[in-house]
């Protein structure tokens, strides 16, 4: 019997739970910074270390938000490698669908749930 290595050790439900916890932290820091993360171009600006969308100028919170976004996309890449791009996209879509009622429009509006997988 071969032992699974890396991303394949986790089942899709475990990935979903981990991704949800990570995304909740992203939401928390985005709210602290008052960054409308889901508006067009904002995620890329945060990843580029451009804080113009951070209303509160909290450098520590912004740095945490940026790092967590990088982690989100790395996790999504690992998911795609382990289960394929369509399954990875579906897991991300389900996580955001679950978080949406809790977040409301505090982060802006997400025109396309696949937008978070575009980076």
Q: State pLDDT tens for residues 50-70.
A: 999 998 888 999 999 999 999
Does a structural domain hold residue 51?
Answer: yes
Mean pLDDT across the chain: 81
In a domain, 87, yes or no: yes
Q: How far apart are CA 114 and CA 119, in angstroms?
A: 10
Domain around 19? 11-105
Q: Is the pLDDT of residue 6 over 60?
A: no
Q: Is the pLDDT of residue 30 over 80?
A: yes
In a domain, 21, yes or no: yes
Task: Tell me phi and psi for residue 105, to 5 degrees.
Answer: -105, 20
| Number of domains composing the chain | 1
Q: What is the 8-class DSSP label of residue 57?
A: -
Dump strand ranges (E) for the chain: none
Q: Is residue 114 part of a domain?
A: no
């Amino acid at each position: 019997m071969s032992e699974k290595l890396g991303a394949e050790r986790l089942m899709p439900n475990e990935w979903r739970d981990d991704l949800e916890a990570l995304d909740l932290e992203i939401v928390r820091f985005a709210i602290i910074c008052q960054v409308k993360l889901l508006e067009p171009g904002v995620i890329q600006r945060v990843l580029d270390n451009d804080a113009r969308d951070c209303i509160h100028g909290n450098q520590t919170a912004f740095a945490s938000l940026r790092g967590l976004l990088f982690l989100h996309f790395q996790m999504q890449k690992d998911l795609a490698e382990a289960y394929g791009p369509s399954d990875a996209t579906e897991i991300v879509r389900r996580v955001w669908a679950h978080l949406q009622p809790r977040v409301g429009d505090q982060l802006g509006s997400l025109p396309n749930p696949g937008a978070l997988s575009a980076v």
